[in-house]
Structure 1
């Protein structure tokens, strides 16, 4: 990306002043090398976001940002509830894709002799792959209950414990979900997909704590050096994708009625106070609940798989965070508390200490911010901090450095798998051809992303983790 037109605010924050119809500045977080390596499309897309009606403060790009559909992935923008809009492209197709991390009572050494059988048990327990269904089949009435209830529905069905819900965003269930706003086609696509990973960059990873940066916070989160963790990265499967497909053309078709003329059709949107805007938010809330239910069911299956190989092991939920949402939140801007609708696409909510949205046992610590690396590289657990400069938002991953098409041309899945094996990482994947898309070399250096996020004041690093087992979609 050409950074000559940006104003340097600090070594890790840059500003593009409003121009060409922008109603707010575009702000980029990241070191100079990270920004120079970003695609030019990130600046174009973020500038387009800044032209949308009712945008408040700025449009932000996280250090892991790369080009997406409409909004860049790693894009954040907030809108006034009266004058603002909701954008399906600003939420993304995989609604509420996110990460759930479980702590265990195990140390790394406890796994070294059982990695292979444990990897097999996890791959068998949690189906993965494009369109892959699982053993749980829902009828129409049960799908509607799941869309209303989210993770609480899953707990009610025996998947996990009520205590899990306190450690989920929205306490496991987003209000405002209306299954009637979701098409029959979208519901049909989720009928047998709850409890499945999907494909692409989704994964189930067994990890160990390799480095502790903040011992008091780590202790508060229940983390210790050498401890085994499990992270689950997936979303709302075919249902979320279909919701996006259903609403994007409707938003584009109805735009003239509302006086909207998005310069980019991918930024099709609807006024928040319009019937279409409210209908999309109701459908999106169903997508959020679907993703929360999916990760809750997968976590239950993971607990069973671990128990079959290592009887007596304890797996507790650290936190579950989403990174493709639009949420109604309260924020203080210019000394005034305001209600805003915050789009986070490929960005994680990062509440600081004392925030009322946190469970009591995390209030003094801040929210765990779960940041996945690329397959075979480090991941991080951060903590939300006070005075976040981007409305309590942080990065969500390493961020792609090359497209999936280019990655397939640059890497061979078999070579990637062999490289992981030599490093003691057990890979289980449906198709090695798809592994090439997720090769570590196809992503940015997550260590540089985290360094920029910390330096920019987005979140505080707590621990770094390394993979032992990776089950890929």
Structure 2
């Protein structure tokens, strides 16, 4: 191997990682040239495309489309509503009504698209300017921009680097959820661990919140396929041999490498805009719904952070390309790249668990330098989708879900059942005990919307 490989895990988690190819993928990634050592895997690691999900690879002049993955800038944002959770107001019937209204407002699922709703927005400007273009059209506030990683726009994007096939469905998918593990969720804050940090984040106990998990949809998927296809035949010209085609990599100074960075940055901007458009839809729908009941809501963005990206960052005084595949950036207090409002705390990092257990809000510590200022992005899968569909019963699913409202029948979302995921608390404790993260808040689900 060209670099060491480090996997953060507790002993009781080790049998699970032998069930798939994730350890092999981690070692294969460490065989790439021009890397910083080590290649790192988070405790939610499971088999992915090329590098395992939960992997961090840092290129010293090397870029890999597979190490970013198919869903470029898949990420999570958390919104507060200005309301407390009151079970009398948010009864099961009301939650079901909200779910139905949200499903009508925001297309979901693999084929979730609009027809022509956003045709007045210029796709090339969305790719280039991200959330800032939406702000100019009235779909985002200044605070939304300030509370989004990179202010919702990463520089260096170029629409010309994206294929026609990648762009074809992008406009129709702006403001849509997607499928798989993507979700929208009404939650309440059940516990605060760090009151002062939580106060800076605008969080308190029993607060009603809304979480969005989505990415760049077909635009990112096709961009990954396009550039893996371009990278692989060129590798021999640079003396690069990879053990797995999905890890196809090139120096950043090549035309293909530079073009991928421009295309990937465009997909990053589209994904930021995608989550922002969903925020606009939710803000409009939810405030109108609550107003009809005589209640004033105030929907505000806590933060939006990506977990599939490659970004130029400084690491130990060296400018490097940090690839995060299913890993969330978590800059600690005092880091110069923090948004100014989080300079003294570090910015929020969000770690969803499953449909029943909810999510954590974390913050990184100075020790996170060991993981290139990265934390896990979720609990991680304990079962493949096929295994989950074959082994989890409807009775088990309904027992685990309890009183949580959900929008799809069991047969459609059985592969997303709580039992298909690892123990979130165990995953969180792994990095916490390593001194890399601190828990700030816990959120528990009230209603979950999944694609099919």
Contiguous gaps of at least 5 residues in structure 1: 1-21
Partner of 1:230: 210
CA RMSD of aligned residues (A): 1.6
Q: Does 1:92 align with 2:76?
A: no
Distance, in Å, in 2 between the alignment partners of 1:426 and 1:416 is 16
Change (3 A) 1:222 1:323: same
Q: Does 1:319 align with 2:303?
A: yes
Distance, in Å, in 1 between the alignment partners of 2:44 and 2:272 is 24
8 A Cα contact 1:97 1:324, kept in partner? yes
Partner of 1:13: none
Distance, in Å, in 1 between the alignment partners of 2:391 and 2:171 is 36
Partner of 1:444: 422
Structure 2 counterpart SS, 1:92? coil
Q: How many residues align?
A: 442
TM-score by length of 1: 0.90
Measure how far apart 1:386 and its partner are.
1.3
8 A Cα contact 1:117 1:309, kept in partner? no
Distance, in Å, in 2 between the alignment partners of 1:140 and 1:55 is 43
Q: Does 1:394 align with 2:375?
A: yes
Change (3 A) 1:280 1:119: same
Measure how far apart 1:50 and its partner are.
0.9
8 A Cα contact 1:126 1:298, kept in partner? yes
Partner of 1:15: none
Which among 73, 81, 97 is matched to residue 53 of structure 2? Answer: 73
Measure how far apart 1:302 and its partner are.
0.8
Matches within 5 A, 1:45-56: 45-56=25-36
Partner of 1:379: 359
8 A Cα contact 1:420 1:426, kept in partner? no
What does the per-residue CA deviation read over 1:281-335, in whole Å, with 9 as the maximum and x for residues that have no partner?
1000011011000000000111112112212201110000101100000111xxx
Which among 271, 274, 277 is matched to residue 294 of structure 1? Answer: 274
Which among 157, 168, 176 is matched to residue 177 of structure 1? Answer: 157
8 A Cα contact 1:376 1:420, kept in partner? yes
Structure 2 counterpart SS, 1:471? strand
**4+ residue runs over 2 A deviation:** 110-114, 134-141, 414-421, 431-434
Which among 76, 79, 91 is matched to residue 102 of structure 1? Answer: 79
Distance, in Å, in 2 between the alignment partners of 1:229 and 1:458 is 26
- Select between 257-266 and 112-121 the one with higher mean Cα deviation: 112-121
Partner of 1:19: none
Measure how far apart 1:167 and its partner are.
0.8
Contiguous gaps of at least 5 residues in structure 2: none
Distance, in Å, in 2 between the alignment partners of 1:233 and 1:426 is 17
Distance, in Å, in 2 between the alignment partners of 1:285 and 1:387 is 28
Change (3 A) 1:416 1:193: farther
What does the per-residue CA deviation read over 1:164-199, in whole Å, with 9 as the maximum and x for residues that have no partner?
111111111011000000000110021211111010
Q: Does 1:118 align with 2:95?
A: no
Change (3 A) 1:123 1:60: same
Which among 346, 356, 364 is matched to residue 326 of structure 2? Answer: 346
Structure 1 counterpart SS, 2:122? helix
Measure how far apart 1:435 and its partner are.
0.6
8 A Cα contact 1:206 1:468, kept in partner? yes
